[in-house]
């Protein structure tokens, strides 16, 4: 099939906005290497970067920039001003925050790879904005040393899931005794239809670390107690007879609806515990281990706007009196997850090597809720259902994954040869049981539905960076992958079951990049990469409910093949960088997640292969420090024309924008340091009109399940009291833009934080 490259540019960005990007990645790395506390991590970071030697456009953010410029309650907040990236964080404590990139939307979580110290955080168990979201909670902002972002599938070291981006998080390890503590509070005032809330959040974090000869140890803990605005809206074509209080509105296709209330109003209690140790074995060889423990207790509830003839609150969503639409917004979640990562690495002038093994396990993961049946013996109506009664208990205990990567780099003069192998296995185990009392797991009864299955991927790769002359470097690479899916099984509520057929596929992915340095401080790079992204076990087999979202599987999905190209020109000097990138991407058999409503209050998602999609555009990024004494400005603006170019199953989608990939995205950050003790930052984020559907039939964006444009202003002030105390105040969404990205997004909130260090 003909390979498409950067062939045209639909429009050129003429406005400049700002974002704290990678202007000083090399400078920051040098600074970090001078810091005593970073001895172990900087060597590890250097070894990993040398081995992977990714010929990709890069962006970075460091611990200092995070502390100064970003109101970061959780680690995903640290990415919100990086070029082209959008993390769908609906509220503090959100467990389901997928990342969108230049060319892929929020429903394509499996098109990105997120790592922390080499251990994968991406939940490649699924490809959606639910349980396929990265496990961000296993890292806290306080432990981050730096974050490096790669754009595009141009390095053979990464799987085809790198179609969109690769995020490498490096956390710190101590070189001497250190201790940190922080207290943070956030207050959001939310007003949506008839729901008016003041939503407080508290977060307490602490860490301690030390080095004992060759052994470095770091322990940390974070507790977050958060409250959310509604994540779902209960609607119907008409309010039940005899009720008042419903709001008139339109759904995303423009049809008149009645808004009956709000659901998925969540209260979270989450804990993250980390233990890290690194042992220097001598000869520049190190062995490290990281244990992560995450717990979550969530309660979801509803707010009905309906009143009956007596003025009492009613939850009826139909004339029969059933409360199905509200029931799906009432639930509890109880989770305990474990993460283990073991790394061995070493290096010399001739070779660097690294072996990383990870294991992630859902020790227990339950979501309980009242029955949503509209008839029969299990009907359970609100408000009595708040206290228990018939319902379901959904378990994902035993779900998880194992990965192993071994890689090395040979330094052979003009050649930097890197190579490696990869293996992973993902296991899905989801079961739903009937319960006589949904609030009591001891009443768990008969099995109602089940989804099980496994996938495995094996890969080998090699890459050679050839320095032809001091000005020219050619990087050639390739990756071969073998994929298998088996043990697929589905049981539905009617009692029918099916054992799915075993699936196998393979893919070969060539890579090439040519870099030219025409003059000091200038670099031009032309890159091409092919990538195969194989279906996740969740896309194939999982039929489960997460929050208010029901996921439907498709065991016949095919792998998607991406062919991506980029031309990047960058200028770098002592004050920062400027870059322009032209990019093009063609995906055959694109795996795209869609959503629709089956019954009021219940949203379902499904994945389909689209014959071909095409995305092309331009990204402009700039980062300048000390433009004036004490002033930093940084920015990015991205134009993307991402469309369905061929779809025999749904011709109406051809030529339409891909879901949640807007034409325009931009960020802006301005920082002023009037003194050494004080920094003041203002920032802005913008995206043009999004769409939820392949055919863009959702003509109304600013409503539940619609995707709208947004413009959000953030501010932050940091005061350094002394060597031990910092105090920060922040505002997110200062202008109180009320917008939807499928769900209602947070309105104006205020943050205050106190940090202490030894």
User: How do residues 61-104 score in pLDDT, each as one tens digit?
Assistant: 999 999 999 999 999 999 999 999 999 999 999 999 999 999 99
Would the pLDDT of 420 be above 90? yes
**Neighbouring residues of 476: CB distance < 8 A, sequence distance ≥ 6:** 463, 464, 466, 511, 512
**Percent of the chain whose predicted confidence (pLDDT) is above 70:** 91
Would the pLDDT of 659 be above 70? yes
Residue found under tokens 């700039």? 622
| Residue 606, pLDDT score | 73
**Neighbouring residues of 249: CB distance < 8 A, sequence distance ≥ 6:** 235, 256, 257, 258, 259, 703
Q: First vs last Cα of the chain: how many Å apart?
A: 61
Give 426-443 pLDDT, tens digit per residue: 999 999 999 999 999 999
| Residue 73, pLDDT score | 94
| Residue 642, pLDDT score | 98
| Residue 649, pLDDT score | 87
Residue 15 lies in a domain: no
What CA–CA distance (Å, rounded) separates 348 from 640? Answer: 43
Residue 253 lies in a domain: yes
| Residue 543, pLDDT score | 74
| Residue 376, pLDDT score | 92
Query: Which of 628, 477, 420 has the alpha carbon at shortest distance from 154?
Result: 477
Residue 453 lies in a domain: no
Residue 100 lies in a domain: yes
Would the pLDDT of 336 be above 70? yes
Residue 598 lies in a domain: yes
Q: φ and ψ at 540, to 5 degrees? A: -80, -40
Q: Which domain holds residue 301?
A: 25-448+458-757
Give 222-281 pLDDT, tens digit per residue: 999 999 999 999 999 999 999 999 999 999 999 999 999 999 999 999 999 999 999 999
To the nearest whole number, what is the mean pLDDT of the chain?
90
| Residue 28, pLDDT score | 40
The pair of three-digit structure tokens given for residue 142, joined into one six-digit string: 């306080």
The pair of three-digit structure tokens given for residue 221, joined into one six-digit string: 């803990």
Three-state secondary structure call for residue 280: strand
Three-state secondary structure call for residue 308: coil
496/519: higher pLDDT: 519
| Residue 494, pLDDT score | 78
Total structural domains in the chain?
Answer: 1
Would the pLDDT of 680 be above 80? yes
Can you name the residues that pair with 115 across neighbouring β-strands?
A: 120, 168
pLDDT band at 2 (very low <50, low <70, confident <90, very high): very low
pLDDT mean over 542-562: 77
DSSP state for residue 653 in the 8-state scheme:
G
- H/E/C letters for each residue in 454-509? EEEEEEEEEEEEEECCCCEEEEEEEEEEEEEEEEEEEECCCCCEEECCCEEEEEEE
Residue 19 lies in a domain: no
Query: Which of 453, 526, 500, 403 has the alpha carbon at shortest distance from 154?
Result: 526
**Percent of the chain whose predicted confidence (pLDDT) is above 90:** 82
Would the pLDDT of 43 be above 70? no
DSSP state for residue 536 in the 8-state scheme:
P
What CA–CA distance (Å, rounded) separates 418 from 420? Answer: 7
CATH number for the domain including 124?
2.40.170.20
Would the pLDDT of 599 be above 60? no
- Are 150 and 144 a contacting pair, CB within 8 Å? no
What CA–CA distance (Å, rounded) separates 583 from 12? Answer: 12
DSSP state for residue 44 in the 8-state scheme:
H
Give 690-734 pLDDT, tens digit per residue: 999 999 999 999 999 999 999 999 999 999 999 999 999 999 999
| Residue 128, pLDDT score | 83
pLDDT mean over 108-136: 91
Would the pLDDT of 326 be above 70? yes
Residue 18 lies in a domain: no
Alpha helices (H) along 542-693:
none
Residue found under tokens 């600074």? 31
pLDDT band at 593 (very low <50, low <70, confident <90, very high): confident
| Residue 647, pLDDT score | 94
DSSP state for residue 750 in the 8-state scheme:
E
Three-state secondary structure call for residue 67: helix
Give 158-211 pLDDT, tens digit per residue: 999 999 999 999 998 999 999 999 999 999 999 999 999 999 999 999 999 999
| Residue 11, pLDDT score | 32
276/29: higher pLDDT: 276
pTM of the model: 0.90
Residue 525 lies in a domain: yes
Can you name the residues that pair with 466 across neighbouring β-strands?
A: 415, 474
Q: Could you please report the per-residue DSSP string of 542-580?
A: --EEETTEEE---TTPPPEEEEEEEEEEEEEETTEEEEE
| Residue 604, pLDDT score | 63
- Are 111 and 134 a contacting pair, CB within 8 Å? no
What CA–CA distance (Å, rounded) separates 128 from 193? Answer: 28
Would the pLDDT of 358 be above 60? yes
The pair of three-digit structure tokens given for residue 692, joined into one six-digit string: 């939820």
The pair of three-digit structure tokens given for residue 677, joined into one six-digit string: 């003790």
| Residue 224, pLDDT score | 97
């Amino acid at each position: 099939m003909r390979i498409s490259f950067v062939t045209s540019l639909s429009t050129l960005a003429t406005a400049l906005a700002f974002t704290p990007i990678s202007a000083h990645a090399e400078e920051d790395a040098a600074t970090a290497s001078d810091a005593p506390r970073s001895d172990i991590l900087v060597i590890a970071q250097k070894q990993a970067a040398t081995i992977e030697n990714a010929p990709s456009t890069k962006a970075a953010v460091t611990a200092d920039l995070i502390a100064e410029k970003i109101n970061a309650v959780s680690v995903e907040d640290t990415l919100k001003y990086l070029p082209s990236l959008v993390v769908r964080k609906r509220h503090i404590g959100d467990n389901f925050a997928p990342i969108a990139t230049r060319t892929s939307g929020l429903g394509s979580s499996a098109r990105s790879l997120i790592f922390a110290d080499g251990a994968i955080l991406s939940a490649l168990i699924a490809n959606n904005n639910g349980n396929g979201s990265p496990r961000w909670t296993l890292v806290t902002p306080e432990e981050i040393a730096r974050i490096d972002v790669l754009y595009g599938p141009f390095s053979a070291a990464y799987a085809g899931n790198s179609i969109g981006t690769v995020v490498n998080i490096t956390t710190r390890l101590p070189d001497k005794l250190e201790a940190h503590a922080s207290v943070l509070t956030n207050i959001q005032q939310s007003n949506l239809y008839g729901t008016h809330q003041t939503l407080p959040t508290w977060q307490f974090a602490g860490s301690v670390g030390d080095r004992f000869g060759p052994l470095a140890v770091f322990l940390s803990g974070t507790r977050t107690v958060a409250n959310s605005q509604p994540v779902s809206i209960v609607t119907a074509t008409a309010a039940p007879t005899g009720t008042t209080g419903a709001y008139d509105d339109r759904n995303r296709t423009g049809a008149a609806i009645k808004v009956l209330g709000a659901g998925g109003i969540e209260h979270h209690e989450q804990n993250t515990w980390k233990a890290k140790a690194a042992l220097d074995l001598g000869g520049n060889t190190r062995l490290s281990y990281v244990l992560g423990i995450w717990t979550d207790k969530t309660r979801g509830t509803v707010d009905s706007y309906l009143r009956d003839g007596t003025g009492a609150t009613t939850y009826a969503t139909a004339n029969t009196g059933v409360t199905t639409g509200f029931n799906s917004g009432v639930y509890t979640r109880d989770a305990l997850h474990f993460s283990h990562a073991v790394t061995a690495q070493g290096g010399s002038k001739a070779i660097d090597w690294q072996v990383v093994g990870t294991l992630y396990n859902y020790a227990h993961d339950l979501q309980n809720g009242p029955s949503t049946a509209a008839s029969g013996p299990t009907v359970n109506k609100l408000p009595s259902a708040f206290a228990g009664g018939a319902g379901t208990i959904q378990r994902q205990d035993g779900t998880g994954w194992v990965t192993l990567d071994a890689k090395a780099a040979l330094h052979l003069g003009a050649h930097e040869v890197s190579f490696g192998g990869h293996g992973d296995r993902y296991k899905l185990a989801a079961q739903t049981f009937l319960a006589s009392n949904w609030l009591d797991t001891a009443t768990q009864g008969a099995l109602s539905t089940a989804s099980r299955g496994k996938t495995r991927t094996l890969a080998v790769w090699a890459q050679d960076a050839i320095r032809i002359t001091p000005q020219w470097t050619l990087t050639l690479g390739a990756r071969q992958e073998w994929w298998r899916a088996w043990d697929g099984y589905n049981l539905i509520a009617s009692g029918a079951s099916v054992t799915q057929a075993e699936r196998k596929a393979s893919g070969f992915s060539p890579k090439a990049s040519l870099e030219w340095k025409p003059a000091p401080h200038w670099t031009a790079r032309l890159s091409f990469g092919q990538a195969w992204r194989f279906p996740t076990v969740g896309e194939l087999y999982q039929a489960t409910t997460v929050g208010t979202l029901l996921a439907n599987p498709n065991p016949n999905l095919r792998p998607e093949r991406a062919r991506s190209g980029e031309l990047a020109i960058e200028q770098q000097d002592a004050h920062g960088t400027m870059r322009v990138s032209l990019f093009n991407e063609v995906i055959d058999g694109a795996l795209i997640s869609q959503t629709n409503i089956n019954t009021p209050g219940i949203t379902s998602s499904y994945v389909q292969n689209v014959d071909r999609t095409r995305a092309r555009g331009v990204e402009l990024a700039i980062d300048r420090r000390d433009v004036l004494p004490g002033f930093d400005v940084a920015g990015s603006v991205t134009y993307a024309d991402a469309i369905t170019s061929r779809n025999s199953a749904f011709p109406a989608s051809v030529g339409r924008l891909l879901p949640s990939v807007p034409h325009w995205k931009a960020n802006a950050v301005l920082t002023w340091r009037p003194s050494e003790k004080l920094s003041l930052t203002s920032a802005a984020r913008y995206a043009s009109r999004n769409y939820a559907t392949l055919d863009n039939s959702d003509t109304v964006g600013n409503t539940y399940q619609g995707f709208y444009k947004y413009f959000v202003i953030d501010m932050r002030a940091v005061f350094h009291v002394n060597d031990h105390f910092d105090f920060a105040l922040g505002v997110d969404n200062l202008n109180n833009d009320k917008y939807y990205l499928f769900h209602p997004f947070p309105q104006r909130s205020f943050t205050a934080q106190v940090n202490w260090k030894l």
